[in-house]
Amino acid sequence: MALTGWPDEPLGPPRGLVEGIERLARPFPGLDALALLGERAALMGLWRRGATSCGGSCRLLPSADEFVAVSLPRDEDMEMVPAWLELDTAPASTPAVWSTVASRLRDGDPHALTARAKLLGLPISRLGEAAGPEMRRGVVLTRLGEASPRPDMTGVVVVDLSALWAGPLCGDLLARAGATVVKVESTQRPDGARRGTREFFDLLNGRKRSVALNLQSSQGVRVLHALVRQADVVIEASRPRALAQFGLDGRQMVQADEHGPQAWISITGYGRSGDDANRVAFGDDAAAAGGLVTWTDDGPLFCADAIADPLTGLAAAGACVDALRSGGRFLLDVSMAAVSAELAGPTLPAPAERAVATPHARSDTPRAPDLGADTDQVLAALGIEP
């Protein structure tokens, strides 16, 4: 409620959301899963902002007879708006950009505008487009071979190739459950969250070891392959074509090599197959695509802060723990939009007698290691030639 509703008026959550989050958290006894939704907000001082996301980079805007979630979190997204809307000149300021976008959406075809945004790599979605009776599951689990059950995460080595929030949270939860998690980053393009709030980066990565590789060199790519083959679990949150340039194919690596990863967690906006496999998504627009918003008489408002991110990280980690316990070798195809769709529902009224709790973050996390601080030690421990 602190992160949902108008600035001066909290709203209740969608029906079933709280129970759904608690269900996702069953593999992690004692975890306050609901609090995960507010950790970034607690550390960044965010609050509810109605039809503007808590972080300010996404807006729910009307278009024809539906709503569109427009997310412009990166400088390059703002720079791409003239090409997206086919403008002759670029708007002169950020407010002018948003005013122009809102105007064009009111008068334009939301399907055509969303399709053009997808081609340009802009994270924009139509409200509820990934929901409905034929929606895919949030976690699609494909069994690719046999392996002994893992009763717990002790001794499990996780290689975390992901960045930002959903994937790193998945790795953090597995680390807290007892796994050894190695965060692997490119020296040229490290996790963008390193440039953000330090406390939030520490929260998601403080229990991991840091390996940095020059992935523009054949040596760096060779070491990356060796790390992946040594892992029991791999987490990645890249579009399929991004990993293909390094010769990494999760399905093949799990299926073809019994000494390779036992579980490959692939987190994407809309799933790793089909027309939307390479579509860009962030937490707010992915949640909107799944229909996970709250409703007022005036239209939809955002539900919590980039809610698809923490929900997806939790869902992926829990599904991984359950899969390893059952035995077998698995590909976990995790869609942020579909995870959100599974927890969407009609808006519950805000209980008048209940005070709104201030978001809080876990405080038991050590400082995350500097980029590449553990590279030599990790490679030596795994017997990998640098």
pLDDT digits (tens, 9 = 90+) for 273-298: 999 999 999 999 999 999 999 999 99
Residue 56 has a pLDDT of 97
Residue 257 has a pLDDT of 65
Residue 166 has a pLDDT of 98
pLDDT tens for the chain, 386 residues long, are 999 999 999 999 999 999 999 999 999 999 999 999 999 999 999 999 999 999 999 999 999 889 999 999 999 999 999 999 999 999 999 999 999 999 999 999 999 999 999 999 999 999 999 998 778 899 999 999 999 999 999 999 999 999 999 999 999 999 999 999 999 999 999 999 999 999 999 999 999 999 999 999 999 999 999 999 999 999 999 988 888 889 999 999 998 767 789 999 999 999 999 999 999 999 999 999 999 999 999 999 999 999 999 999 999 999 999 999 999 999 999 999 999 999 999 999 887 777 888 999 998 889 999 999 999 999 999 999 98
3-state secondary structure the chain: CCCCEECCEECCCECCHHHHHHHHCCCCCCCCHHHHHHHHHHHHCCCCCCCECCCCCEEEEEECCEEEEEECCCHHHHHHHHHHHCCCCCCCCHHHHHHHHHHHHHHCCHHHHHHHHHHHCCCEEECCCCCCCCCCCCEEEEEEECCCCCCCCCCCEEEECCCCCHHHHHHHHHHHCCCEEEEEEECCCCCHHHHCCHHHHHHHHCCCEEEEECCCCHHHHHHHHHHHHHCCEEEECCCHHHHHCCCCCHHHHHHHCCCCCCEEEEEECCCCCCCCCCCCCCHHHHHHHCCCEEEECCEEEECCCCCHHHHHHHHHHHHHHHHHHHCCEEEEEEEHHHHHHHCCCCECCCCCCCCCCCCCCCCCCCCCCCCCCCHHHHHHHCCCCC
Residue 351 has a pLDDT of 78
User: What are the structural domains, with CATH classification, of the chain?
Assistant: 1-47+134-281+304-386 (3.40.50.10540)
